Chains A and B, each alone.
Chain A
Amino acid sequence: MTTKKATRKLTIARAMAEAIAQEMRIDPRVFVMGEDIGPLGGVFGTTRGLITEFGTERVRDTPISETAFIGAAVGAASDGMRPIVELMFVDFFGVCMDAIYNLMAKNTYFSGGKVRVPMVLMTSTGGGYSDAGQHSQCLYGTFAHLPGMKVVVPSNAYDAKGLMTAAIRDDNPVVYMYHKSLQGMGWLGTEKGATVAVPEESYTVEIGKAAVVRKGNDVSLVSLGAGVHHCLRAAEVLQKEGFSAEVLDLRSLVPLDREAVRASVGRTGRLIVVDEDYHSYGVSGEIIATVVEHNHTCLKAAPKRLAYPDIPIPFARPMEQWALPNADKIVDAFRQMMLNQ
């Protein structure tokens, strides 16, 4: 049955749940808290089946108070447990941010390394399905900007499982930001490319390593999460026009694999960053700075970024789709780059 093991696919939702279950089996300190993560299995499927196997003591449905249960997770982690907590929508970080960025992220530093905070804060990001301005944001840059926590963003089920296992085993707090359109939940506009073959055995994907998911020579398309799939579609179009695009999946924002970004742009000489987070003061600017502050002479054209405009996310479908990055916009950006160079 080796063929079977090699070909079984999982959605990101199932890959996350499988990683959590495997770690819960070998480490009694690991437990899960969040809203609707019990019998429902998580609104985005991230904890499906866990309560049946591990019971209500280790899979704890909480009231709608992120302030309380994320604060409780920071305390539990500081006291030797390894909690996984779900902030259902990243958009609601406002009510629990003090626990996250002043306590979770800083307790290790403040204690001179005596207090570890080995917790995973998993949270859904992204839009595209008309859920409006308080349920569709990415906010990658907000978390990556603040020191003291790792930040990972999977684009497919293989990475999702390996990054989750690595995050649970990490002695540092890890913010695990999954994109709703990649989860395999049909009503969220499911991206098929995220459902890939996933080994049944446990494994880790190293946090802080980007991946070249498509090799190319003419331009580096650098992205994360759902944006990786837009880039792959754009690369297909560009190939028909005679250009080969390299696609780099960042996978981790903290630590950021700056070497991989520089190496890719060093090969191609052109850079387009695709980010569903807001345009200004964010990931896209950081990636461009990573290249140009190191070596601007490698660039054959001014770098470009395709990010979310600096506006609240609209509810109306045509308005939201107008604002989101997509493959057509990436292809257009490349054509502009070639015209202007």
Chain B
Amino acid sequence: MQIAIVIPVDLWEDDSEGVMTAWLFNSGDEVDEGDLLAEVMVEKAQYEIIAPSAGVLTIVKHEDEVVIKGAIIATLDA
């Protein structure tokens, strides 16, 4: 089963764009539910992307790419 990792719409307050500043795992890595996967920077503040479930990671939005709330940034195959 594949699960999309989406930037939660309540992760930051307004509708500013963010930038993927760091992926802490590579595509193909196995991750656990609750692992810190990535950091998104919005207006100099950094927000955390947490794994919603366990699975094998495939990154869609890479470092330095601009993202908006609701964007699919990766998938997890369980």
Cβ contact within 8 Å between B25 and A9:
yes
Determine the chain A residues whose CB is within 8 A of the CB of B21 once the complex forms. 184-186, 190
- A55-84 vs B: 1/0 string, CB under 8 Å? 000000000000000000000000000000
Interface of chain A residues 1 through 39 with chain B (CB within 8 A): 1, 3-4, 7-11, 14
Cβ contact within 8 Å between B24 and A3:
no
CB distance from A52 to the nearest CB of B (A): 13
Contact of B41 among A9, A10, A187 (CB under 8 A): A187
Cβ contact within 8 Å between B46 and A4:
no
Cβ of A223 < 8 Å from any Cβ of B?
Answer: no
Cβ of A192 < 8 Å from any Cβ of B?
Answer: yes
Number of interface residues of B (CB under 8 A): 18
- B44-78 vs A: 1/0 string, CB under 8 Å? 10100000000000000001000000000000000
CB distance from A27 to the nearest CB of B (A): 25
Cβ contact within 8 Å between A184 and B22:
yes
Cβ contact within 8 Å between B24 and A192:
no
Cβ contact within 8 Å between B44 and A1:
no
Chain B residue, CB-CB nearest to A43 = B44
Determine the chain B residues whose CB is within 8 A of the CB of A227 once the complex forms. none
Contact of B24 among A45, A186, A195 (CB under 8 A): A195
Chain B residue, CB-CB nearest to A48 = B46
Cβ contact within 8 Å between B46 and A45:
yes
Cα distance, A187 to B41, chains bound together (Å): 8
CB distance from A177 to the nearest CB of B (A): 22
Cα distance, A190 to B41, chains bound together (Å): 12
Contact of B29 among A4, A14, A45, A190 (CB under 8 A): A4
Cβ contact within 8 Å between B25 and A8:
yes
- A176-208 vs B: 1/0 string, CB under 8 Å? 000000001111001010010000000000000
Most buried by A among B24, B25, B36, B63: B24
Cβ contact within 8 Å between A10 and B30:
no
Contact of B22 among A1, A187, A195 (CB under 8 A): A195
Cβ of B7 < 8 Å from any Cβ of A?
Answer: no
- Given the known A-B contacts A1-B30, A4-B32, are A192 and B63 also in contact in the complex, defined by CB atoms under 8 Å? yes
Cβ of B31 < 8 Å from any Cβ of A?
Answer: yes
CB distance from B69 to the nearest CB of A (A): 17
Cα distance, A88 to B23, chains bound together (Å): 26
Determine the chain B residues whose CB is within 8 A of the CB of A192 once the complex forms. 63
- Given the known A-B contacts A11-B22, A195-B24, are A186 and B29 also in contact in the complex, defined by CB atoms under 8 Å? no
Cα distance, A4 to B37, chains bound together (Å): 12
Cβ contact within 8 Å between A4 and B31:
yes
Cα distance, A4 to B26, chains bound together (Å): 10
- Given the known A-B contacts A8-B24, A9-B25, A195-B24, are A185 and B30 also in contact in the complex, defined by CB atoms under 8 Å? no
Chain A residue, CB-CB nearest to B29 = A7
Cβ contact within 8 Å between B39 and A7:
no
Chain B residue, CB-CB nearest to A10 = B24
Cα distance, A8 to B38, chains bound together (Å): 11
Give the interface of A toward B (CB within 8 A): 1, 3-4, 7-11, 14, 45, 184-187, 190, 192, 195
Give the interface of B toward A (CB within 8 A): 19, 21-26, 29-32, 35-36, 39, 41, 44, 46, 63
27 contacts between A and B (CB under 8 A): A1-B30, A1-B32, A3-B30, A4-B29, A4-B30, A4-B32, A4-B35, A7-B29, A8-B24, A8-B25, A9-B23, A9-B24, A9-B25, A9-B26, A11-B22, A11-B39, A184-B22, A185-B21, A185-B41, A185-B44, A185-B46, A186-B39, A186-B46, A187-B44, A190-B22, A192-B63, A195-B24
